[in-house]
Amino acid sequence: MKTGIDQISFYTSQYFLDLKTLAEARGVETGKFYVGIGQEKMGIPPPDEDIVTMAASAAFRLKEQGALDGVEALLFATESGVDQSKAAGMFVHGLLSLPQRCRVVELKQACYSATAALRMAMGLVAMKPKSKVLVIASDVARYELGSPGESTQGCGAVAFTVSADPRLLAIDPEAGFYAEDVMDFWRPNYLSEALVDGKYSTLVYIKALKAAWEQYAEESGRFLGDFARFCYHIPFTRMAEKAHQKLAKGISDDELCQKIGESLIYSRIAGNCYSASLYVGLCSLLDHAAEELSGRRIGFYSYGSGCVGEFFSGVVQTDYRMALFTQAHQNLLAGRTELTFQQYEDIYHCGIPTDGGTYIFPQYRTGPFRFAGMQRHKRIYGRR
């Protein structure tokens, strides 16, 4: 039985900061960000948008098509959790009126957790082939102002359904994985910004990639030439390019662009979406590849700091183009509002009130849902 991703939908904030604006403000050459890091714009969530509203907005497109009818589990991957106890997926379950016969849980291991969710979803579907699981990954990448990580911020969510006989991608059983207890990137509970040992994190990313690929290659007997395309975890697009150059030694610039270029288009203008980022790459690839990909194998590298890496693969299914949300993704990205540097810093400093009072947040542009305010330490969500 084939199991995998039936449909996938991507959402990001309606606001962005151009990295040339950041470069001017920080006295850095724009080339460092546009070329050296490979990022052009970063998505910035306004005060009434968070991981829950982005997640619900991504999944809403699936809901509108009836794809969430009868869904039996919602696995929510994030490293920007909004509550230490209640899973962010519970709010989404309410906003989307999902069935009450549904398991809901939140998963965490930095940017890797959506891949763990995908594997768990496949296990659930294998046990009950007629069932369907909704996986959501949603994150806000946030670093200290003026720090080296600042230019690699971003935000976004992906929502995908996992089922038998998927229309988009059948996931192969083979996988290679690697874990090592390291401190390359972390966020203590009392901080709202991530801490990172930047250069070290890029080295561990590559180390885990090599180990995961080695196991995958041993198990599957496949070679790099067996893949039509590759999707990487994308903290910034140059990282994915460097990773592929490490794996495919001596690859030409043209071939590098052919193998991973389409997967980087959305991330270059949305920024790091942490747990969602690999799957934003998949959306970008399927939305942009002019070449017919049905029947072709895609390689995936998922990385979560701390660290876990996994290399796995999937085969694109016939008629996959019928199951995409290409136009909706492109309209969203084209319709975003650009922030000035001052607006960016003002939004950055808007914290969540912690005194238990009643707060109604100003209305910004969001998707179908918004984080309307706080009352007695409860988050209030609603329709826009």
Answer for which of 109, 272, 284, 366 binds ligand CAA (CB under 6 A) is: 272
The mark string for 136-155 relative to ligand CAA (x by CB under 6 A, - otherwise) is: ------------xx-xx---
Answer for which of 16, 76, 91, 205 binds ligand CAA (CB under 6 A) is: 205
Q: How far is the CB of 35 from ligand CAA (least distance, A)?
A: 4
Widest CA span in the chain: 60
Note whether 185 binds ligand CAA by CB under 6 A. yes
As to burial, measured by CB atoms within 10 angstroms (0-12 exposed, 13-18 middle, 19+ buried), residue 304 is buried
What DSSP letter does each residue of 72-94 carry, written as one string?
-EEEEE-SS-S-SSS-HHHHHHH
Q: How far is the CB of 292 from ligand CAA (least distance, A)?
A: 31
Site of tokens 């490490």: 246
Residues 282-301 that bind ligand CAA (CB under 6 A): none
The mark string for 152-181 relative to ligand CAA (x by CB under 6 A, - otherwise) is: x-----------------------------
Note whether 111 binds ligand CAA by CB under 6 A. yes
Token digits of residue 195? 């801490």
Note whether 43 binds ligand CAA by CB under 6 A. no
Q: How far is the CB of 140 from ligand CAA (least distance, A)?
A: 12
Q: How far apart are CA 153 and CA 157, in angstroms?
A: 14
Answer for which of 166, 235, 309, 373 binds ligand CAA (CB under 6 A) is: 235
Cβ–Cβ < 8 Å for 105, 99? no
Residues 13-42 that bind ligand CAA (CB under 6 A): 29, 31-32, 35-37
Q: How far apart are CA 121 and CA 93, in angstroms?
A: 17
Of the residues 79, 150, 241, 310, which is catalytic? 79
Interface region with ligand CAA, contact rule CB under 6 A, candidates 99-107, 229-237, 362-370, 371-379? 229-237
Please indicate whether residue 29 is annotated as part of the active site: no
Cβ–Cβ < 8 Å for 311, 301? yes
Residue 274 region by backbone torsions, left for phi larger than 0, else alpha for psi between -120 and 50, else beta:
left
Token digits of residue 2? 């084939």
Query: Of the two residues 15 and 205, which places its CB atom closer to ligand CAA in the complex?
Result: 205
Token digits of residue 327? 């136009």
Answer for which of 142, 233, 259, 336 binds ligand CAA (CB under 6 A) is: 233
CB neighbour burial string for 338-361, b if at least 16 within 10 angstroms, e if fewer:
ebeeeebeebbeeeeeeeeeeeeb
Query: Of the two residues 35 and 352, which places its CB atom closer to ligand CAA in the complex?
Result: 35
Please indicate whether residue 150 is annotated as part of the active site: no
The residue of the chain with the least Cβ separation from ligand CAA equals 36
Answer for which of 161, 163, 201, 284 binds ligand CAA (CB under 6 A) is: 201
Q: How far is the CB of 122 from ligand CAA (least distance, A)?
A: 24
- Sheet with 337-338, strands from edge to edge, namely 41-43, 15-18, 337-338
Residues 314-373 that bind ligand CAA (CB under 6 A): none
Give the CA dihedral 51, 175, 227, 121, nearest 10 degrees.
-40
Q: How far is the CB of 127 from ligand CAA (least distance, A)?
A: 32
Going 233 to 236 to 242 to 245, the CA torsion angle's sign is positive
Q: How far apart are CA 312 and CA 73, in angstroms?
A: 23
Token digits of residue 73? 């589990």
Binding-site size, ligand CAA (CB under 6 A): 27
Of the residues 111, 273, 283, 307, which is catalytic? 111
- Count of helix runs (H) and strand runs (E) in the chain: 12, 17
Answer for which of 101, 130, 199, 376 binds ligand CAA (CB under 6 A) is: 199
In whole angstroms, how far apart are CA 249 and each of 113, 219, 232, 243, 339? 29, 21, 16, 10, 40
Q: How far is the CB of 258 from ligand CAA (least distance, A)?
A: 21
Please indicate whether residue 233 is annotated as part of the active site: yes
Which residues are designated catalytic? 79, 111, 233
Interacting residues with ligand CAA (CB under 6 A): 29, 31-32, 35-37, 111, 148-149, 151-152, 184-185, 196, 198-199, 201-202, 205, 233, 235-236, 239, 272, 274, 303, 305
